[in-house]
Structure 1
């Protein structure tokens, strides 16, 4: 399939930190890209660029015209998701975003499942590191069977937050939720701390209950009685420290030196099983997750429509295999 036969993909927020990684990964896969943003001067060179403010539906319609998929990398998603999804649906496009914000993912699921089905397209929020990766790992372990408990834990050797992460933290004051007795409920305060033994090089760490959008994506399609998420206490301290610098490039791909490990433990009738994903730079790794989803959505044989979680939209094990070992190191073990 040559470039002329592949539909274009619009990346909204293409001038931002994560957006640039997404544009680069799509181009690496020879997928035509339209870079869209609120400020044309910040858009990456080498691809068609279109300017569209988030509160200008006419400009958004122009920006997404002729595209097949819209990828939203512009947070805070509490402010951007709805107008970008609606413009994508008007253009007949599928939609993906990389939100870590629980309330944004939940609102997208609730508001756009019916409209997406009617339009015959897929709307997939939280398809990046937070939300999407844990969803794939848990889906690969749990399958369609009900499970008693899912726990996810993330270790970061450092968290250098981007400007967008800081803006989102200031904007997102919605109480966090977890799953208890099969229902979404507010997380108890103060946040619980537990000890978690990660594989090397992260090792044993104190982790703090810190649920992101994976709580919403997993509970959307997996039958689970209890669902909790944790983040290494040291990484949380980094992101809460106003003096922690933004990430800086350490390799030719623009990735920071940050190393991450994500572990998902599923306990149910089949026993207790663990999935692990390790890699470099939580912002950069969202790009191959998004690009792999785009490739599958562009397949004319793709059968699904509606508002979907990443592990619901695609075969989770096959999806993860496609990213291993180039972008992730993964393992699946009994505990």
Structure 2
């Protein structure tokens, strides 16, 4: 029997190159596509691929069982890769994606999993995993995600466009089924699990709303974390300009990428995803915090995308279009994350319910 063929679009990018390395660890054939010529690892059917050449994209997808898209930005890629994959009879996975893409794929005969990255994706899967381990009921959920890392051009574009209204509501959290506005935090602060003082910005994501509904959580919050307030301030300024002149996006992305790289000069990159749950389990109050540590988010995103790809390869019963954070089995994904080179540590801290004075920390 022939080994399954996976088509990887954007195989030379930050997420795509990490996904390529992970796919090659499985018993698969891999076809890699990238805009520019590059040297490919042994065994990869590497091709120069222009996403805006419909025939080239169709030829690339032909014969694939699953097509994994790691190219961005999402707003520019749209559903062109997904439609080419489905046209070739292949299932589709997108490491990024948005609500418009999900809606466009709902009626397709072939299955799709989108948002198969860190955010959205792992930012729902890690809370689901933590809740399943120790909680019968969750009363509050807090997520802090971010750090200091390189910003790719595609990632920068998605950050700016999502800040303009793509994935949720800025400066808000979820309370008893309603959106509640928060005051903007002004100070640097020390957050558990983060190696230094950081600046954070509240953002009520659409994913968090779905997660709160799934877990029955009355209070939920999500914060983007930055190593310096300069970055969120720049994002706000650039978004204001883009709201008046959308054609300025390439210049805005270049400014954001440059600012992120300047923050990295002479300093170590890091990424943290911290999830804290309060609730009840085994008849008593529980409070736990999970902190996932990595050098950057790109390798973690690749792991989630590969997990989604393997799910569609191994289970032919999938139908419809789904968010990765809603549909992937959390235990399987977290096992894969821990086994990946992208994961430096995953720690679980048991906290006192009324106060956070004493902590017992264990590394899984």
| TM-score (normalizing by structure 2) | 0.72
- 1:148 is displaced (CA, Å) by 4.2
- 1:94 is displaced (CA, Å) by 2.1
When Rg is computed on C-alpha atoms for both structures, the one with the higher figure is 2
Confirm or deny: 8 A CA contact 1:137 1:276 kept in the other structure.
no
The one of 145, 163, 186 equivalent to 2:153 is 163
- Equivalent position of 1:139 in the other structure: 128
Partner deviation per Cα, 1:38-95 (whole Å, 9 max, x = no partner): x242574542133443333333221111111111111110221311122222222222
Partner deviation per Cα, 1:285-326 (whole Å, 9 max, x = no partner): 222222233223221x45432222324333212321233254
2:320 and 2:229 mapped to 1: Cα distance? Answer: 34
Q: Does 1:319 align with 2:316?
A: no
SS in structure 2 of the partner of residue 48 of structure 1:
strand
1:192 and 1:315 mapped to 2: Cα distance? Answer: 35
Change (3 A) 1:58 1:325: closer
SS in structure 1 of the partner of residue 347 of structure 2:
strand
- Equivalent position of 2:141 in the other structure: 150
Change (3 A) 1:24 1:267: same
Change (3 A) 1:68 1:285: same
The one of 37, 40, 45 equivalent to 1:41 is 37
Confirm or deny: 8 A CA contact 2:197 2:227 kept in the other structure.
no
Q: Does 1:264 align with 2:264?
A: no
Confirm or deny: 8 A CA contact 2:303 2:337 kept in the other structure.
yes
Q: Does 1:306 align with 2:320?
A: yes
Aligned 1:69-218 pairs, distance under 5 A? 69-99=66-96, 104-115=97-108, 118-119=109-110, 121=111, 123-143=112-132, 147-156=138-147, 158-172=148-162, 174-175=164-165, 176-178=167-169, 180=174, 188=181, 191-192=184-185, 195=189, 197-199=191-193, 202=195, 205-210=198-203, 214-215=207-208, 218=211
| TM-score (normalizing by structure 1) | 0.77
The one of 275, 282, 288 equivalent to 1:273 is 288
SS in structure 1 of the partner of residue 79 of structure 2:
helix
2:262 and 2:88 mapped to 1: Cα distance? Answer: 35
- 1:19 is displaced (CA, Å) by 1.4
Gaps of 5+ in 2: 235-255, 352-364
Change (3 A) 1:264 1:233: same
- Equivalent position of 1:253 in the other structure: none
Say what the alpha-carbon RMSD is for the aligned residues.
3.5
Aligned 1:13-52 pairs, distance under 5 A? 13-37=10-34, 39-42=35-38, 44=40, 46=42, 47-52=44-49
Confirm or deny: 8 A CA contact 2:115 2:325 kept in the other structure.
no
Confirm or deny: 8 A CA contact 2:93 2:305 kept in the other structure.
yes
1:162 and 1:40 mapped to 2: Cα distance? Answer: 16
Gaps of 5+ in 1: 249-255
Confirm or deny: 8 A CA contact 2:273 2:292 kept in the other structure.
yes
Aligned 1:227-266 pairs, distance under 5 A? 227-234=220-227, 237-238=230-231, 240=234, 242-245=258-261, 258-266=269-277
2:185 and 2:263 mapped to 1: Cα distance? Answer: 28
SS in structure 2 of the partner of residue 323 of structure 1:
helix
Change (3 A) 1:59 1:125: same
Greater than 6 Å deviation, 4+ residue runs: none
